Each structure stands twice: as C-alpha cells, then as structure tokens.
Structure 1
Amino acid sequence: MITLTKLKGDTITINAIYIERIESFPDTTITLTNQKKMFVKESEEEVKEMVREFYKQIGLYQLQREVGEKGNES
C-alpha cells in the first residue's frame, strides 16, 4: 500500500497493484484498473518510486525484473 496526498490535502492509501497508469497533466493523475482517476500532489516520479518500493516490500519487484529479462532473451 502507498499513501498519497489528494489535491485538497487529505491523504489516501491505495493498493499500488491496482494502478494502471500514472500521468502528469500538470497535476499527477493516477488511473486505477477500474478506470477510476485520482489527482494527487506527489509528482509522477515520486509515485513511481513509491510503487517500486511497495513492489520490493512484497517481493514483486525482483520477480518482474526476472520475468522481463527472460522475455528479452530472444
């Protein structure tokens, strides 16, 4: 889970696995897998780093790297 700050200052904790897309319009916009959009104060890079750290904590980051490396061997 990662904790982000909404534009009005409230915090929200979301499961990073459900993030489909992160964009900067100028506000950072997060689109979840259910197509719900959230606008947060953190930059796109900050959110991506939080997601990377979350994946490392739950053991998915190394798995993603290993699977990606095997997929690039052809």
Structure 2
Amino acid sequence: MIKVTRLDQSQLYLNSEFIQSVESTPDTHIVLANGHSYVVRESDAEVIALIIDYRRAVSGADTGSGRAALHLVSNE
C-alpha cells in the first residue's frame, strides 16, 4: 500500500498492485484497474517512487537479498 494525499489534504492508502496508470494533467490522476480514479497532490514521479519503494520492501530487494533493485526510468 502507498500513502497519497488528496487535494483536500486527506490521506488515502492505495494498493499499488492495482494501479493501472498515473498521469499529470497538471494534477496527478491515479487510475486503478477497477476504473476508480483519484486526484492527488503528489507528482507523478513521486507516486512512481512510492510504488518502487513499496515493491522493494515487499520483494526484499532493500535487504541485500541479491535481487536486482528497481529504479525509475525516464521516457525522455
């Protein structure tokens, strides 16, 4: 689960396994696989970093398990 902040400052936990897309238009929209959409204060890059951190923690990549670390790749 990742913690994000709605525009009204309330916090929300989302299951990052169900995130289908993250888009900035300029507000950041997170769309889940079930079609629910959330507008959050975090930038798209911040949301992606939260997802990467979550997956590292779940996979054990940050504990020296020998697995390859995940990292953000730019489309540019």
Answer whether TM exceeds 0.5 for this pair: yes
- TM-score class, shorter-chain normalisation, is 0.7 to 0.9
In structure 2, the partner of 1:40 is: 40
What stretches of structure 2 of length at least 5 have no aligned partner? 62-66, 71-76
Label 1:60 to 1:30 Cα distance change in 2 as closer, same or farther (>3 A).
farther
The DSSP-based 3-state class of the residue aligned with 2:21 is: strand
Could you tell me the TM-score, scaled by structure 2's length? 0.77
Task: Give the aligned length.
Answer: 64
Where does 1:12-51 land on structure 2 (aligned, <5 Å)?
12-51=12-51
Higher helix share: 1
> What RMSD, in angstroms, separates the aligned Cα atoms of the two structures?
1.8
What stretches of structure 1 of length at least 5 have no aligned partner? 66-74
Identity in percent: 30
Q: Displaced runs of 4+ in structure 1, greater than 4 A?
A: 60-63
In structure 1, the partner of 2:2 is: 2
In structure 2, the partner of 1:68 is: none
The DSSP-based 3-state class of the residue aligned with 1:34 is: coil
